[in-house]
Amino acid sequence: MRQEDVKQIIEQLEEPFLHRTLKELNAIKEISIKEEKKHVSVKVAIAKTGTSEQLQLQQQIVQQIKNAGAETVGLRFVELPEEVVKKYYDSTDDSASLLSNGKTTFIAIASGKGGVGKSTVSVNLAVSLARLGKKVGLIDADIYGFSVPDMMGITKRPVVRGEKIIPVERFGVKVISMGFFVEDNAPVVWRGPMLGKMLNNFFQEVEWGDLDYILLDLPPGTGDVALDVHTMLPACKEIVVSTPHPTAAFVAARAGAMALKTDHEILGVIENMAYYESKETGVKEYVFGRGGGEKLAEELRVPLLGQIPLQQPDWNEEDFAPSVYQEEHPIGKIYKQIAEKVAQLVPNPS
C-alpha cells in the first residue's frame, strides 16, 4: 500500500461540518506507512475537533483503510485554518447564516422560577407574531421541562431531509423541542455539556429557512442552558416573565440581572396571572397579589409589555391546542398587543 493509495481511499469522504470532501478542503495533512507492521498513520484537519462528528469520521477512515489491507491505523485530528472554515461555513450552512445573517432576531423568554407560565407566554407570543405576518420559529430550550409540543397540540414529529431536521409547523410557527426526541415522556438526566450540545444542534442541524424571529423558551433560573444561550447568541434579546407576587418578581430580577451582565437587551416584562376577572360581575380579583410586574419592570428599567389575566383558552376538539388562545379571545387580543409592541421594539431588518 502506497501513500497515494491511502489518499485515494479516503479523500472522497465528507468533512462532517463543512460538508465538503477531504480532497476539496485539502484536509489530508500527513500519511505515513510502516510496511512491516502493516500500519498506516494519517493526520486529518476538520472544522471542530473533540466532537462526536469527529468520532464518526474516524470510524469511516479506519474502516476504509483496514478494508484496503492495513492491520492497524493511527489517526490524528487537527483543526482546519480559520479562513478555510469561514469560506465554506458561510456558503454552505444555512443555520450558521441564521445565527449571523442579521435578519433573524432571537428573543429569549426567561423567568427566575418555574410555575409562572413562561412556556404559555412563549407559545402565545410566537403564535401572535405569526398572526401579524411574521416568519417565526420557536425553540423549546427548556430541555428538562419541555412542554411546548403538548401546549400547541403537536402530535407529529420532525422529519429528516438530507442531513437536516425539518421543524414541525403549527399555527404558522416552526417548532423544535427536546420533547420530539424523547420516548414516552422519559426524564432527561443529562449534565450541562450534553445540554449545550443539544441546544447547539437545534441551531445547526435544523432547517429553519428564512425567519424574522426565533423565540427561545428558556428553563427557569440562571443555569447551564441559560448560560449557553447567552454565550451562543450574544445579540439575543430577552423578555422576563413574572407573576404579580412580590417574591416571584424578586426572583425574576435575578434572570434579568444575568441578561444585563451578559449584555443581552431586555425588551420588557410580562406579568402573567395578573388577576382573575369574574364573568358574572366583571370584578377583578388579584389572587396572586399586585404590583410585582410593575416593580420588576421599574427595577430593570424596561417597559411592562402586558398583564395577562387568569383564564382558560376556548378548546376546540377538532384542532386541540390546550394552551393556545384564539385570536378573538380576550387574552388572545392581549397577546396580539404584546406582539405588536415587540415588533415595534425590534423591527425586523429584512
Find the DSSP H helices in the chain.
3-10, 52-67, 82-92, 94-100, 118-131, 148-151, 192-204, 224-232, 246-261, 292-300, 330-345
Angle of the 330-345 helix axis to the 118-131 helix axis, nearest 10: 80
Asked if residue 270 and residue 219 are part of one domain, the reply reads yes
* Whether 76 contacts 40, CB under 8 Å: no
* 257 in any annotated domain: yes
Total of domains in the chain: 2
Secondary structure class of 75 (helix, strand, coil): strand
Domain end, chosen from 92, 126, 161, is at 92
Listing DSSP states for 105-132 in one string gives EEEEEE-SSSSS-HHHHHHHHHHHHHHT
* 332 in any annotated domain: yes
Asked if residue 110 and residue 80 are part of one domain, the reply reads no
Asked if residue 225 and residue 332 are part of one domain, the reply reads yes
Asked if residue 180 and residue 62 are part of one domain, the reply reads no
d(CA 308, CA 272): 5
Query: Which pLDDT score is estimated for 334?
Result: 97
Asked if residue 220 and residue 165 are part of one domain, the reply reads yes
pTM of the full structure: 0.69
Any idea what the CATH number is for the domain that residue 211 is in? 3.40.50.300
- Average pLDDT, 10 consecutive residues per value, the chain (350 residues): 89 88 93 88 89 81 91 92 78 51 83 83 96 92 82 88 84 89 60 63 83 88 63 81 78 69 82 90 89 88 94 81 93 96 82
Asked if residue 102 and residue 15 are part of one domain, the reply reads no
Domain end, chosen from 92, 127, 144, is at 92
Query: Which pLDDT score is estimated for 92?
Result: 44
Asked if residue 121 and residue 55 are part of one domain, the reply reads no
Asked if residue 142 and residue 31 are part of one domain, the reply reads no
Asked if residue 196 and residue 138 are part of one domain, the reply reads yes
- Taken in order 31, 32, 37, 38, the sign of the CA dihedral is positive
Angle of the 3-10 helix axis to the 52-67 helix axis, nearest 10: 130
Asked if residue 175 and residue 309 are part of one domain, the reply reads yes
* 23 in any annotated domain: yes
Any idea what the CATH number is for the domain that residue 85 is in? 3.30.300.130
From the list 206, 246, 256, 203, the residue with the least C-alpha distance to 226 is 256
d(CA 272, CA 327): 18
Range of the domain at 51: 3-92
* 329 in any annotated domain: yes
Secondary structure class of 282 (helix, strand, coil): coil
Query: Which pLDDT score is estimated for 157?
Result: 86
* 350 in any annotated domain: no
Asked if residue 104 and residue 69 are part of one domain, the reply reads no
Domain end, chosen from 92, 126, 156, is at 92
Asked if residue 63 and residue 133 are part of one domain, the reply reads no
d(CA 184, CA 181): 10
* 165 in any annotated domain: yes
